Amino acid sequence: MPSITVSCPGKVNLFLDVIGKRDDGYHLIESLFLPIKDIADSLKISEANAPGITISCNHPAVPLDSKNLIHKAAQAFAEKTLITPKWKIDLVKNIPVAGGMGGGSSNAASTFMALNELYDQPLNKTEMQELAIKIGADLPFFFEKSPAIVKGIGEKIASCRVEEKLFMLFVPFQFPVAAFWAYKNRQDGFSHSSITCEEYLSLLNNEKFPQTYNDLAKPLIEKFPLLKQACDKLLKLGAYSSNVSGSGPTCFALFKDQESLKQAHNKLKRQSIMATF
Catalytic residues: 11, 138
Distance (Å, whole) CA 6 – CA 11:
16
Burial class (CB in 10 A: 0-12, 13-18, 19+), 82: exposed
Number of Cβ within a 10 Å radius of residue 94:
16
* Cβ pair 117, 44 in contact under 8 A: no
Amino acid letter, residue 179: A
Integer-rounded Cα radius of gyration of the chain: 19
